[in-house]
Amino acid sequence: MSEETPAPLWEVFIRSKRGLAHNHVGSLHAPDAEMALRNARDVYTRRMEGVSIWVVPSAMITASSPDEKDSFFDPAADKPYRHPTFYSIPKEVQQL
């Protein structure tokens, strides 16, 4: 825990209730997975935010590059037909 060698960084995902997906809520430092989970519980679920926690080493995440933003995302901008807007969603469906 010395300042010279900070513990590895972990990304924290929390499921707020059963049936929903885990959402990314932030990150924290911990020496191993067990303590990362414990720290996540202490840091991110103090106000009953969740019923399930995932922790993932930040180094294991492969991210898209901001430089590739145009080629990655712009092609989808003018293709409205990919949105399922012609279906009516029943009122009872809260989360889709």
Partner 1 sequence: MTLGVAGAAAVYTLRAADDCLVLSHRLAQWSSWAPTLEDDIALTNIALDLLGQARGLYARTAELDATGRSEDDYAFLRDEREFVNCLLVEQENGDFATTTVRQLLCSTFQLALWQSLTTSTDEQLAAIAAKAVTETTYHRDHATDWTLRLGDGTAESHERMEAALATLWPYTAELFESDAVSQEASILGVGPDPESLHPEWHGYVTRVLGDATLVVPQSTWKPSGGRQGLHTEPFGYMLAEMQHLHRSFPGVTW
Provide the binding-site residues for partner 1, judged by CB under 8 A: 1, 7, 28-30, 34-35, 38-39, 42-43, 46
Q: How far is the CB of 50 from partner 1 (least distance, A)?
A: 15
Residue with Cβ nearer partner 1 (9 or 69)? 9
Q: How far is the CB of 92 from partner 1 (least distance, A)?
A: 34
Q: E strands of 1-96, at which residues?
A: 9-15, 23-29, 52-57
Task: Look at strands 52-57 and 9-15 and give their pairing.
Answer: antiparallel
Residue with Cβ nearer partner 1 (47 or 82)? 47
Residue with Cβ nearer partner 1 (46 or 91)? 46
Q: How far is the CB of 22 from partner 1 (least distance, A)?
A: 20
Q: 33-36: long-range contacts (C-beta < 8 A, 24 or more apart)? A: 33/57, 36/10, 36/12
Give CA–CA dist 25/46, Å, rounded: 13
